[in-house]
Structure 1
Amino acid sequence: MQITNTILMIRPVNFRMNEQTAVNNYFQEDLEVKNSEINKNAQKEFDAFVCVLRANGVHVIVVNDTVETDTPDSVFPNNWISFHENGTIAVYPMFAENRRMERREDIFDVLEAQGFLINNVIDYTSAEEEGVFLEGTGSILLDRINEKAYCALSERANEDLFIEFCEDFDCFPVVFTANQTVKKQRLPIYHTNVMMAMGENFAVICLDAIDDKQERKSVIEHLKKDSKEIIVITEEQMHNFAGNMLQVIGDNEQRFMVMSSAAYESLNAAQIKSIERHSKILHSSLRTIETCGGGSARCMMAEVFLPKNNSLESS
């Protein structure tokens, strides 16, 4: 199964621009607004986004962030945790020290209370001691149907640890480097999922970000081999978070491609038509979260693929 109906989202309480992530997340910008106002606006955007998803039949599990910890990026849970069909949870090592405090075992209890079965937890966080990082489905783009994993290497995506993940989850690794232009320099993009999105039968990707011709060719060949329609976006569209999309299931098995309004407005008519061949588009304004957080709609949604606990349902 490539896509799911169930999404975990964390409602922020201390959202702001995270100075610890800004060193290599070139999508982040500061706003000349008080942090309290930034957080209030982020909460409004979050709540409106959840409403859009729920109105279309997506099952959204919302957990509030805690005020006890300074976790400005908690709204992006997909970077520290992933949930898999075999009942396994993976927990990931994070580049920014204050992002490590986002990891919460009580999330497991919330999911079990919702009837999900957790069989195993694979914890990669000890890699932090070696300065090695792999930030969940931000770094790893999973083609679950074809058992492949795509990863753009960066300070936050270590190749050896990615290969270890692929061995643990029986995925074929597709490794490349993706860059963006920052002050006339080509620098690594911090997460794979801002330049590429994977649907059931299609992929949205900024091919211009893959400077190495052989790597670009390899990625294209893998997608074509798996019969994915390739929908190409430009680097400018990527900077409007057009690569940061997620396909989900709503009411009546309807497929939705979820993105921010900025991403949607950056697309041209042909790209929209291509996406709509596969999914209805849902979008919501996430301007504050995108500007200060450097992440968008996909980063905010941790997909839940865990099996249901049948014994709990029948009791």
Structure 2
Amino acid sequence: MVCPTNIYRNEETTEDNIFYIPEERWNEMIGKTGPRETRKEVLFEFANLHRILTQLGMEIYLFTHESFEETPDAVCVNDWFRSFPATGETPATLIIHPMKAPSRQREKFNPVLLSLLESTYKRFFNLTPCEQGDLKVSDSFHCKSTALNDAGDKKRYYLEAHTITLDRINNVGYCAVGKNVRASNEVKKIWKEITNYELVEFHLKNEEFYQKLHNTNFIFNMGTDWAIVCFEAISPEEQLIIRERLSKTKKLIISISKQQLTNFGAAGVLEVLSSNHKPAMLISTSAESALGAENVELLRGCVEVLHVVDVSALEYTCGGSLSSLLGFLY
């Protein structure tokens, strides 16, 4: 986890992330409380989240980010790397994902965090060169993208981690396809070769709101025995295909509306493993309200314990929710 010691509204990502609150509402909120009080509230929420995770028995590696790094969204550490457990003769694997915004790219250069990842994973794939138009994998943890400076008119390639929702039980990834989704076809091919996962792609409905969605995770989230999906966001031709595909996994399927989606009904839910290696669940207060009591009780039946956590100030500030705040080390 990265403590949001220098979090602020990221102007680089507000343009194509519809989950930020409108600027006028943000300015009104800041005007009432002030930046210092807003950050204080964010830090209080983060500390409470950290406390709950620790009580569940999770081992937490906690990092900070400094103002000179200019990484306002660093708290969303799960956006730029994914790890996979060892299988057979294949050791545990780490993928470092190519990010779109320069400030998000800079998050990958935290030397202390990189040192932990480097010491943990001997099999790793750094896709950072894709950010500057080079479709290749770097064999260095410390590779930097020239996209941080001036890449000219060269095409850049991205595959942010949350553009693919993982079904780790069945080795399947689900990826939305839309004009704003930060996932390049060329990098998806590399990802499939690395992970040996099946990649199921579906198109977002051809409406302005849905075409503005930038990550799959906001409309499609999944855990061991459950899936939360906004089928309204999927093209009509593919809705039944995805529904039938999920039904075969025997997971509980909760269908949410556009309104529930915009209030973090999917992204505000996070499954973790407790100290006894049984699944536990965290739900943000926004997601709890959006999903409703009946759906929350259904989700409660999928895990051993469920905690409701208030991360409202975090959600308002970074345009993300619980599913972005933990980078899991398998």
Q: Does 1:15 align with 2:15?
A: no
Amino acid paired to 1:96: A
Q: Is the 2:71–2:107 contact (alpha carbons within 8 Å) kept by the matching residues of 1?
A: yes
Judging by fraction of residues, say which structure has more strand.
1
- Residue 63 of structure 1 aligns to a residue in which SS? coil
Report the Cα distance in structure 2 between the residues aligned to 1:298 and 1:180, rounded to whole angstroms.
26
Residue-by-residue CA offset, 1:268-304 (whole Å, 9 max, x unaligned): 2321121111113222111111112110011111111
Alignment match, 1:127: 130
Instruction: Tell me the percent identity.
Output: 27
Change (3 A) 1:111 1:155: closer
Tell me which of the two structures has the higher relative contact order, counting C-alpha pairs closer than 8 angstroms and 6 or more residues apart.
Answer: 1
Does 1:215 find its partner at 2:238?
A: yes
1:188 maps to 2:212: yes
3-state SS of paired residue (2:264)? coil
Quick check: 1:258 aligned with 2:282? yes
Structure 1 counterpart SS, 2:187: helix
Deviations 1:124-166 (A, max 9, x none): 1111123221111x11111111111011133412233123202
- Is structure 2 residue 223 aligned with structure 1 residue 231? no
The TM-score with structure 1 as length reference comes to 0.86
Which ranges of structure 1 fall in alignment gaps of 5 or more residues? 1-8, 306-315
Q: Is residue 2:39 matched to residue 1:42?
A: no
Quote the Cα distance in structure 1 between the aligned partners of 2:53 and 2:270.
Answer: 12
Q: 1:299 corresponds to which residue?
A: 324
Distance in structure 2 (CA, Å) of the matches to 1:251 and 1:181? 44
Report the secondary structure of 1:216's partner residue: helix
CA gap of 1:66–1:83, structure 2 versus 1, over 3 A, is farther
| Aligned residue type for 1:89 | L
- Whether contact under 8 Å (2:210, 2:233) holds in the other structure is no
Aligned length: 290
Q: Equivalent residue for 1:176?
A: 202
Match of 2:272 in 1: 248
Higher helix proportion, which one?
Answer: 2
Query: CA shift at 1:198, angstroms?
Result: 1.1
The verdict on how the C-alpha distance between 1:81 and 1:105 changes in structure 2, with shifts beyond 3 A counting, is farther
* Residues 249/180 of structure 1: CA separation in 2 closer, same or farther (3 Å cut): farther
Do 1:83 and 1:304's aligned partners in 2 also have CA atoms closer than 8 Å? Answer: yes
Residue 253 of structure 1 aligns to a residue in which SS?
Answer: coil
CA-CA distance at 1:111 after TM superposition: 5.0
Q: Could you tell me which residue of structure 2 aligns to residue 4 of structure 1?
A: none
- Aligned to 1:89, the other structure's residue is in SS state strand
| Distance in 2 between residues matched to 1:304 and 1:187, nearest whole Å | 32
**Aligned counterparts of 1:172 and 1:294: Cα–Cα separation in 2:** 29
1:11 CA drift (Å): 0.5
Aligned partner of residue 68 in structure 1, secondary structure? helix
* Distance change (3 Å), C-alpha of 1:191 and 1:274: same
Q: How far is 1:121 from its partner?
A: 1.8
Q: Deviations over 1:44-77 (max 9, x none)?
A: 2111111121122222221112332111100101
For structure 2, the residue ranges without an aligned partner over 5 or more in a row are: 87-91, 133-154
Match of 2:185 among 144, 150, 159: 159
